[in-house]
């Protein structure tokens, strides 16, 4: 990956929430909120950084097809845009897991505050590593570069296993 991308776990935490767990991550992005919002919601941008490919813009509440971005053989998970408050809040339900993206303007650009709510604690370090690569790809996209493919088996070539170990240590 590029020298300007973090090679360590980003601010992240894992907390129980009833019968589920919430992984929380934050990343400072040196771009305005509106540009980050567009990259989070436009399918042509999302496909470059996210683990899913939406069949429509993620700017309206309702059903959406979110196909796995790493394996074309998998059936798309049932998904729904649950809440949208442009350009600051996007909440998705992806196969029963809740993904929440909150954007706040900062002096340097945008603070991305992300939560991923899921039922089984065991994959939390894997999720952390995967989202770490997603944020790196998002940063590259926002900087005007075309990120390498970072999903599925391609993630291994970009340090996923090492990140997973680091998030295991960070999240406990």
pLDDT surpasses 80 at 165: yes
pLDDT at 19 (0 to 100): 96
Residue 7 included in any domain: no
Q: pLDDT tens across 84-119, in order?
A: 999 999 999 999 999 999 999 999 999 999 999 999
Distance of CA 61 to the CA centre of its chain: 19
Residue 2 included in any domain: no
Residue 4 included in any domain: no
Residue 144 included in any domain: yes
Task: Tell me the Cα Rg of the chain.
Answer: 15
pLDDT surpasses 90 at 44: yes
Percentage of residues in the chain having pLDDT higher than 90: 74
pLDDT surpasses 60 at 1: no
Record the tokens describing residue 129, joined without a space. 């590593």
Task: Provide the pLDDT confidence category of residue 4 given band limits of 50, 70 and 90.
Answer: very low
Residue 95 included in any domain: yes
Record the tokens describing residue 2, joined without a space. 């590029």
pLDDT surpasses 50 at 124: yes
Q: What angle (nearest 5°) sits at the alpha carbon of residue 128, between those of residues 127 and 129?
A: 90
Report the domain count for the chain.
1
Residue 6 included in any domain: no
Question: What CATH number is attached to the domain comprising 105?
Answer: 3.30.530.20
Residue 159 included in any domain: yes
pLDDT at 22 (0 to 100): 98
Threshold 0.85, pTM exceeds? yes
Residue 3 included in any domain: no
What domain range includes position 91? 12-171
**How far apart, in whole angstroms, are the C-alpha atoms of residue 61 and residue 36?**
19
Average pLDDT, the chain: 89
pLDDT at 70 (0 to 100): 66
pLDDT at 172 (0 to 100): 82
């Amino acid at each position: 990956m590029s020298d300007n991308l973090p090679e360590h776990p980003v601010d992240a935490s894992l907390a129980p929430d009833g019968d589920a767990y919430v992984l929380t991550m934050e990343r400072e992005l040196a771009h305005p909120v509106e540009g980050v919002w567009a990259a989070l919601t436009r399918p042509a941008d999302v496909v470059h950084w996210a683990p899913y490919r939406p069949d429509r813009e993620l700017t309206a509440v309702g059903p959406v097809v979110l196909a796995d971005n790493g394996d074309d053989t998998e059936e798309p998970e049932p998904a729904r845009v649950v809440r949208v408050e442009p350009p600051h809040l996007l909440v998705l339900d992806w196969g029963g897991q809740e993904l929440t993206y909150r954007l706040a303007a900062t002096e340097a650009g945008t603070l991305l505050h992300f939560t991923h709510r899921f039922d089984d604690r065991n994959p939390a370090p894997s999720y952390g590593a995967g989202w770490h690569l997603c944020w790196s790809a998002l940063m590259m996209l926002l900087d005007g570069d075309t990120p390498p493919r970072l999903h599925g088996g391609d993630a291994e070539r970009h340090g996923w296993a090492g990140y997973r170990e680091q998030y295991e240590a960070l999240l406990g």
